[in-house]
Every structure is written in structure tokens, then in C-alpha cells.
Amino acid sequence: MNSIKNIFQTKDQNLLSIYFTCGFPKLNDTTRVIEGLTSAGVDFIEVGLPYSDPLADGPTIQESSQKALENGINLDIVFEQLMTIKETNKTPLVLMGYLNQLLKYGEDKFCQKVVDCGIDTLILPDLPMVEYENHYKALFDKYGINNVFLITPHTTEERIKKIDSYTESFIYMVASSSITGAKGEISQQQIDYFKRIKSMNLQSKLIIGFGISDRQTFSTACQYANGAIIGSAFINALADNGINHINSFIAQIRS
């Protein structure tokens, strides 16, 4: 059974996920960050694959990707790092990357590595729906991998319903039609969007991301979805305060 689904069976409100970039701040910090987030009690972790052209990411995550690449990170090292904690890690991991990374690595090789690391949920923001329907759904089904689709304020109702029918884990609800990064308070326009999606009574769980950065924005997002993902704010905290302060960062969100 999908490990994310296991979470939703026991808890379906106020779920906190944290995004981080593999190989940042230092090359071998990947497992330490996962261990720190697990110790802090996050519900699941979004593991970011550093990429040279991350179109969906804002400056903070772009810079962390660039730093990780300068540190020498690559997909082989990422998979090796994730393998070392496969047996001890108890927090579900969701892998977030880009379609070109999968293509360059080799589709079957990539999927097999993902499964070998004990991961069954994948986010590829630039994967076109038509490509998913024509090819990748069958590929992912072959390996038991679940694809997470993103929706935005401009996603049509027809497309949302199609995404809902394909979803086996959760729908990633982008809080605004922009790149990642802290945006301050959640606007009334965003709340109207949240309400509209919630009123559709979709069968899938909803997790809000992009612009969620502190206790207030996390709490607001959780009023309209099952939980939220924090990325850029956590990357900034890692850069400023280091891994030893992960607990205090999470405690501020949870308080």
C-alpha cells in the first residue's frame, strides 16, 4: 500500500510536509536532514532532486540546487544516500524532480532506483498530462509508483476532475500561479481559490504548497486542505541556522 495513503488512514488533517534539496547545504547532508525532520515529527518529506533548470522553483530553491550541484551531487549519489537510510527511516518520502532527469537517467533505471530506495510517490511538475496518459501511467504502474499532479488557480474544472480520477496519493494544490517561495500572508484571492477547490468535494486528499512559510500560513492552508508543504522557508532556515536547528523550525510551525 502507498506509504502516503498509510498516513491518511491515521491522520488526514494538519499534515506537515517539508521540502528540502538533496546535497544541501553540504553533499552528505541529505540523510542528516531526513533524520532531523523525522525526529522533529513531520508527516512526510518531499525530497528534491537538484536540477540545473528547475522551472517551478523560486530563487531560494534554485540557489540550493545550484549549491548542491557545485557540491558534486548527482542522481547516483542521491539514490546511494537514500538507500543508506531505507531500513531505518520511518517517515514517508516523496521524490520531486523534473522529467528530463528521468529521461537522461533512463526511464526504467530511474523507476527501479526509486522503488529500491523504498519510495513510491513521485512529483514531476513538468510532466504533461497527455504524456502521462499515453506512456508514463503504464510505466509507473509497472513499478508501483504513484504520480502526484499539481493544480493551480487557473486549472480548469475538467482537468481537476481528470487529475482526481488518476490520483492515488494526493493532489498538490499550488497556492498561487507562480514559482515557489514565501509570499507573506495568504490573500483573500487565494482563500477564494481554496474554497472553490474544497467545494468540489474531490475524492483525493489535498496538500497545499508554494508560499507556505510559517505557522500562520500553514494553519490557514490546513483549514482548506489536508495539510501543507513548506519549502523555501525551510531551505533558508537550513542555510542560516544549520541542521541542528531543524527541531526549533518545525516547533515554530507546529506551535
**What pLDDT does residue 241 have?**
95
C-alpha to C-alpha distance for 121 and 248, rounded to whole angstroms: 28
pLDDT at site 185: 78
The per-residue pLDDT for range 151-190, each reduced to its tens digit, is 999 999 999 999 999 999 999 999 875 555 445 678 999 9
Residue 247 identity (one-letter amino acid): N
Percent of the chain with pLDDT over 70: 95
Q: Which of 73, 17, 62, 3 is nearest to 218 (CA)?
A: 17
Tell me the C-alpha distance between 187 and 142, whole Å. 41
Report the distance separating Cα 114 and Cα 98, nearest Å: 14
User: Would you say domain 13-254 falls under CATH 3.40.50.10210?
Assistant: no
Instruction: Name the residue with higher pLDDT: 29 or 1.
Output: 29
Is the pLDDT at 135 greater than 70? The verdict is: yes
CA proximity to 150, closest of 55, 64, 22: 55
Contacts of 133 (CB under 8 A, 6+ apart): none
pLDDT at 177: 58
If we measure between CA atoms, which residue out of 229, 232, 225, 149 comes closest to residue 191? 225
Could you say which DSSP state residue 85 is in? T
Residue 251: per-residue pLDDT: 97
- What is d(CA 99, CA 16) in angstroms, rounded to the nearest whole number? 26
Task: Note whether 226 and 15 are within 8 A (CB).
Answer: yes
* 228 within 8 A of 221, measured Cβ to Cβ: yes
Q: What is the mean pLDDT of residues 91-98?
A: 96
On the 0-12 / 13-18 / 19+ scale of CB atoms within 10 A, 118 is middle
Coil, strand or helix at 204: coil
**Strand-pair partners of 208:** 173, 228
Asked which of 29-38, 49-58, 198-207 is least confident by mean pLDDT, the reply is: 49-58
Catalytically active residues are 46, 57
What's the pLDDT at 178? 55
Domain ranges (residues) in the chain: 13-254
pLDDT value at position 1? 42
Q: Is the pLDDT of residue 57 over 90?
A: no
Mean pLDDT of 112-131: 96
Which residue is it, cell 513548506?
A: 230
d(C-alpha 60, C-alpha 62), whole Å: 5
State phi, psi for 150 to the nearest 5 degrees.
-105, 145
For residue range 200-255, list pLDDT tens digits in order: 999 999 999 998 999 999 999 999 999 999 999 999 999 999 999 999 999 999 98
